[in-house]
Amino acid sequence: MYLVLADVVWPALFLLDRIAAIPVILIGLAIEASLFRHFFQITWRHAFSAACIINVVSTLAGILILPAWGWYWEYSVAARNHSNGWGTFNPLTWAETCLMAWLLTNVVESVPLRLVVGPQKNLLRSLLLANLLSVGVAYLSLSFLPPQHDPWQVYEWADDLMLPLQ
């Protein structure tokens, strides 16, 4: 969805588009609930509720933060790479995008998780592992199922919203 609305695309938008995909969300929730149940010794219902709550918070924050960070990276840090002949979709930018998605997700989800499950000995370890696997699923899905966006569909969709000029 985010790719359809953008005039300029960078890796963070591709990753955000995939993180927000229903199959990736469901796999991520299953991974996180399983790890929370294992690490915290809580019921499946409590573990799944915790995973859902922290992911709602993370999604709301991530919709703004991840694309903004990706834009910042492209126009400040990665600008040096362009002088070396590297384009936007280079290995360094992809690695940084995944790392930032993982770190930002952990920062955003740590407070709500602590509120939902209470203070836990393995809270940070479980969150780091759960988010590493969840972001990894989103990233790997880009390799196995690359986005199939037709750029001309954007214009057909936009034409329906345009008022006729007279």
What tens digit of pLDDT does each residue of 145-156 get? Answer: 766 654 444 444
pLDDT of residue 11: 65
Structure confidence by residue, pLDDT tens digits, 26-35 = 898 999 999 9
What is the number of other CB atoms lying within 10 angstroms of the CB of residue 127? Answer: 23
Structural domain includes residue 152? no
| 41 dihedral zone (left: phi>0; alpha: psi -120 to 50; beta) | left
Structural domain includes residue 166? no
> Is the pLDDT score of 51 beyond 80?
yes
Average pLDDT over residues 70-78: 74
Overall domain count for the chain: 1
Structural domain includes residue 71? yes
Residue 9 pLDDT grade (very low, low, confident, very high; cuts 50, 70, 90): low
